[in-house]
Amino acid sequence: MPRIFTYNAFKNHSPKASAYADKHAPVVVCAPTAERGLPFSVTVRIGTNQKHPNTMEHHFCYIQLWDLETLVAETRFDHRALGDKPLQIEAQFTIIPQRSLRLTAMAYCNQHGLWQSEEFFVHAPIQDS
Number of residues forming the site for Fe ion (CB under 5 A): 3
Q: Which residue is nearest to Fe ion (CB)?
A: 109
Q: Footprint of Fe ion on residues 95-124 (CB under 5 A)?
A: 109, 111-112
Q: Which is nearer to Fe ion, 79 or 97 (CB)?
A: 79
By the rule CB under 5 A, 88 interacts with Fe ion: no
Q: How far is the CB of 59 from Fe ion (least distance, A)?
A: 8
Q: At 33, give phi and psi (nearest 5°).
A: -130, 150
86 DSSP assignment: -
Is residue 122 a contact partner of residue 96, using CB atoms and an 8 Å limit?
no
Residue 29: name the closest of 116, 105, 129, 109 by CA: 105
**Where do contacts with Fe ion occur on this chain (CB under 5 A)?**
109, 111-112
